[in-house]
Structure 1
Amino acid sequence: MAAVLTGDLVKSTALTSSDYQHTMSALTRQCEAIKARTGCLFEIFRGDGFQFVFEKPVDAVTAMLELKLYLNSQIDGLQVNCTQALATGSDAVIKATPGTSSGKVFVESGRALDEARSGEIVVRTPLAEQQIATGIICTQLSYILNRLSKKQADLLYHYIHLGFPLHQVLAEQQQTSRQNISERLKAAGGDLLEPFIDYVTNLKDDAG
């Protein structure tokens, strides 16, 4: 089983040359960190496009959310959005890089990205009967994430990056109260992230 995540930045051509270079450097660092943690393959291409290949779907969907929140919160002075599409399949032929690999799962991920609305996260499910519900869930979560402030995205990024720690852990890290963190996480939709990861990870890959 392989999970292929394909994405690109939104309106990168509107960035100044300096901001573009700063953004791409930050994106590369984050991709390298995800690779070090999961053992995935990744490649940045077409100027502002990127693609990952993961062995575990849970790593792929976690990275999808983490990348979106990272771009929205962790680059100094900038909030950069991205569109991403995830597909899973067992037919992948994995080579040294995503660009030299092949299989239907790569086609599905790329096609889903081409069909996605700007700034959305999309999951292409193995079974057609799962796609309607999955599409609605992704649309609603995208709506919420795309309306976060930089501070809200920063909080959610650390929440997912640290593996959904107790709220007290985040409170101590940010030198505030647990109640404040709990209220901020709820207002930002933080309670949706872990169930979304579980949902996508447990999608059936066959009719059985």
Structure 2
Amino acid sequence: MIVGTLGFMAPEQLVGKPVTPASDVFALGAVLTYAATGTSPFGTGSAQALNFRIAYEEPDLSRRAGPGRACKVIERCLAKDPGQRSSVTALIGELALARSESRPAAQPSRPRPGPPRVGPGAGQLSPRTALRPDSGRARAPTPARAPAPPPHAPQPRAHRPRPDAGGRRGIRRRRPRARPRPKR
């Protein structure tokens, strides 16, 4: 039995070889290609045709953004031979390097708002926070808003059994006219 999403399974998975972390790297390369171009690296079509292209043909990366480091990383992720794909650890480093190269140099990186930090120094105040006059006060939690009610959906009409053709409203059956009898 093969378990996976069509178009994102590694070639070794399709031909019955063992699945390894390199198979996940292949799937990530397919996802990154789809995210960058809006198309699958192996096109579309029937399951058999798509699986054949994944296992035996090269990916179509002609719609990629450019010849940058990220595109080279994606090419290595989509290698047919699992031994030629980057390891997960190396891949994380390569993608971080590609991200730093794509960011403009004049723009400093700012921390993004997100979940609270955990680990050493997580509970300490930063110098900016420590200088604020209200930093030591406890704030009341803001009450959660109730979810909005769902929009009113029209109720379906009650189903009435349809009468036979002769009993429809607006349609009258013509009665045959009585023929005059010949006089004797």
TM bucket by the smaller chain? under 0.3
More helix by share: 1
Higher gyration radius (CA): 2
More strand by share: 1
Q: TM-score, normalised by structure 2?
A: 0.24
Q: TM-score, normalised by structure 1?
A: 0.22
Q: Relative CO higher for 1 or 2, CA cutoff 8 Å, sep ≥ 6?
A: 1
